[in-house]
Amino acid sequence: MNKMENREREAGGRLFTVLEEDGATRARLGVLRLGHGDVLTPVFMPVGTNAAVKAVSHRDLEEIGFDLILGNTYHVYLRPGLDVIRGFGGLHGFSSWNRNILTDSGGFQVFSLAPFRKIREEGVSFRSHIDGSSHLFTPEAVVEAQHVLGSDIMMPLDVCTPPGITRGEALSALETTTAWARRSKKTWLGLGPGAGKLFGIIQGNFFEDLRGRSAQEILELDLPGIAIGGLSVGESPDAFRGLLAGTARMLPKEKPRYVMGIGTPGYILDAVENGIDMFDCVFPTRIARNGCLFTGTGRLVLKRAENHGADLPPDPGCGCPVCKRYSIGYLRHLFKAGEILGPMLATYHNLYYMKSFLDKVRESIKNHSFAGFKKDFLSAQSGER
Amino acid sequence: MNKMENREREAGGRLFTVLEEDGATRARLGVLRLGHGDVLTPVFMPVGTNAAVKAVSHRDLEEIGFDLILGNTYHVYLRPGLDVIRGFGGLHGFSSWNRNILTDSGGFQVFSLAPFRKIREEGVSFRSHIDGSSHLFTPEAVVEAQHVLGSDIMMPLDVCTPPGITRGEALSALETTTAWARRSKKTWLGLGPGAGKLFGIIQGNFFEDLRGRSAQEILELDLPGIAIGGLSVGESPDAFRGLLAGTARMLPKEKPRYVMGIGTPGYILDAVENGIDMFDCVFPTRIARNGCLFTGTGRLVLKRAENHGADLPPDPGCGCPVCKRYSIGYLRHLFKAGEILGPMLATYHNLYYMKSFLDKVRESIKNHSFAGFKKDFLSAQSGER
| Domain co-membership, A165 together with A293 | no
Q: What is residue A115's DSSP assignment?
A: S
Residue type, A1: M
Which value does ipTM take for this structure?
Answer: 0.95
A152-177 in b/e burial notation, b at 16+ Cβ within 10 A? Answer: bbbbbbbbbbeeeeeeeebbebbbbb
Q: Answer yes or no: is B31 within a domain.
A: no
B138 backbone dihedrals φ, ψ, rounded to 5°: -110, 160
| Domain co-membership, A70 together with A213 | yes
| Domain co-membership, A132 together with A190 | yes
Is residue B288 within 8 A of residue B329, CB to CB? The reply is: no
Per-residue model confidence (pLDDT) at position B267: 96
CATH number at residue A155: 3.20.20.105
| Angle subtended at Cα B221 by Cα B219 and Cα B38, rounded to the nearest 5 degrees | 80
> Of A281, A300, A333, at which residue does a domain stop?
A281
> Counting every residue, how long is chain B?
385
Residue type, B134: S
- Kindly list the residues from chain A whose CB atom is less than 8 angstroms away from the CB atom of residue B341: 52-57
Residue of chain B minimizing CA distance to A78:
B337
Is residue B153 within 8 A of residue B93, CB to CB? The reply is: no
| Closest by Cβ to A54, choosing from B84, B333, B340 | B340
> Of B243, B260, B281, at which residue does a domain stop?
B281
Residues in contact with A219: Cβ distance below 8 Å, sequence separation at least 6, in sequence order: A200, A226, A250, A251, A252
- In B113-132, the residues whose Cβ lies within 8 Å of chain A are none
Complete edge-to-edge strand list for the sheet that includes strand B124-127: B117-119, B124-127, B134-137
Q: Answer yes or no: is B16 within a domain.
A: no
Q: How far apart are CA B30 and CA B32, in angstroms?
A: 7
Q: Answer yes or no: is B2 within a domain.
A: no
Residue of chain A minimizing CA distance to B323:
A96
Distance from CA of A92 to the nearest CA of B (A): 11
Q: How far apart are CA A62 and CA A46, in angstroms?
A: 12
Q: How far apart are CA B302 and CA B199, in angstroms?
A: 39
Best A83, A339, A341 residue to mutate vs chain B (most B CBs within 10 Å): A341
- Kindly list the residues from chain B whose CB atom is less than 8 angstroms away from the CB atom of residue A345: 57
Per-residue model confidence (pLDDT) at position A6: 42
| Closest by Cβ to A309, choosing from B84, B309, B345 | B84
Across the interface, whether the CB atoms of B329 and A50 are under 8 A apart is answered no
Complete edge-to-edge strand list for the sheet that includes strand A28-34: A16-21, A28-34, A37-41
Is residue A70 within 8 A of residue A262, CB to CB? The reply is: no
Q: Answer yes or no: is B25 within a domain.
A: no
Best B47, B50, B59, B332 residue to mutate vs chain A (most A CBs within 10 Å): B50
Per-residue model confidence (pLDDT) at position A194: 86
Is residue A50 within 8 A of residue A27, CB to CB? The reply is: no
| Domain co-membership, B258 together with B149 | yes
Cis peptide before B42 (omega within 30 of 0): yes
Report the domain count for chain B: 2
B301 backbone dihedrals φ, ψ, rounded to 5°: -100, 100
Across the interface, whether the CB atoms of A88 and B59 are under 8 A apart is answered no
Report CA-CA distances (Å) from B25 to A344, B238, B262, B371. 43, 18, 20, 7
| Angle subtended at Cα B217 by Cα B213 and Cα B223, rounded to the nearest 5 degrees | 140
| Domain co-membership, B177 together with B274 | yes
Q: How far apart are CA B94 and CA B89, in angstroms?
A: 7
Q: How far apart are CA A54 and CA B221, in angstroms?
A: 51
Q: Answer yes or no: is B177 within a domain.
A: yes
- In A90-109, the residues whose Cβ lies within 8 Å of chain B are 94-96
Cis peptide before A80 (omega within 30 of 0): yes
B372 backbone dihedrals φ, ψ, rounded to 5°: -65, -40
| Domain co-membership, B98 together with B243 | yes
| Domain co-membership, B269 together with B228 | yes
Q: Answer yes or no: is B167 within a domain.
A: yes
Per-residue model confidence (pLDDT) at position B13: 67
Residue of chain A minimizing CA distance to B325:
A96
Q: Answer yes or no: is A356 within a domain.
A: no
| Domain co-membership, B268 together with B296 | no
| Domain co-membership, B98 together with B172 | yes
Per-residue model confidence (pLDDT) at position A258: 98
Q: By residue range, what is the domain housing residue A342?
A: 289-349
| Domain co-membership, A336 together with A269 | no
Per-residue model confidence (pLDDT) at position B111: 87
Among A355, B268, B282, CA closest to A363: A355
Per-residue model confidence (pLDDT) at position B1: 37
| Domain co-membership, B245 together with B336 | no
| Domain co-membership, B238 together with B141 | yes
Across the interface, whether the CB atoms of A340 and B337 are under 8 A apart is answered no
Across the interface, whether the CB atoms of A340 and B336 are under 8 A apart is answered no
Report CA-CA distances (Å) from B40 to A113, B249, B282. 53, 22, 20
B9-27 in b/e burial notation, b at 16+ Cβ within 10 A? Answer: eebeeebbbbbbbbeebbb
Q: Answer yes or no: is A235 within a domain.
A: yes
Is residue B13 within 8 A of residue B360, CB to CB? The reply is: no
- Kindly list the residues from chain A whose CB atom is less than 8 angstroms away from the CB atom of residue B57: 341, 344-345
- In B35-64, the residues whose Cβ lies within 8 Å of chain A are 50-59
CA trace torsion A269, A274, A279, A284 (10° rounding): -20
Per-residue pLDDT of chain A (385 residues; tens, 9 = 90+): 344 444 434 444 699 999 999 999 999 999 999 999 999 999 999 999 999 999 999 999 999 999 999 999 999 999 999 999 999 999 999 999 999 999 999 989 998 888 889 999 999 999 999 999 999 999 999 999 999 999 999 999 999 999 999 999 999 999 999 999 999 999 999 997 789 999 999 999 999 999 999 999 999 999 999 999 999 888 899 999 999 999 999 999 999 999 999 999 999 999 999 999 999 999 999 999 999 999 999 999 999 999 999 999 999 999 999 999 999 999 999 999 999 999 999 999 999 999 999 999 999 999 999 999 999 999 999 888 8
Across the interface, whether the CB atoms of A75 and B337 are under 8 A apart is answered yes
Residue of chain A minimizing CA distance to B333:
A80
> Of A281, A308, A323, at which residue does a domain stop?
A281
**In 3-state terms, what secondary structure has residue B293?**
strand
Q: How far apart are CA B34 and CA A9, in angstroms?
A: 57
Per-residue pLDDT of chain B (385 residues; tens, 9 = 90+): 344 444 434 444 699 999 999 999 999 999 999 999 999 999 999 999 999 999 999 999 999 999 999 999 999 999 999 999 999 999 999 999 999 999 999 989 998 888 889 999 999 999 999 999 999 999 999 999 999 999 999 999 999 999 999 999 999 999 999 999 999 999 999 997 789 999 999 999 999 999 999 999 999 999 999 999 999 888 899 999 999 999 999 999 999 999 999 999 999 999 999 999 999 999 999 999 999 999 999 999 999 999 999 999 999 999 999 999 999 999 999 999 999 999 999 999 999 999 999 999 999 999 999 999 999 999 999 888 8
- Kindly list the residues from chain A whose CB atom is less than 8 angstroms away from the CB atom of residue B330: 51, 88, 94-96
pTM for this prediction:
0.96
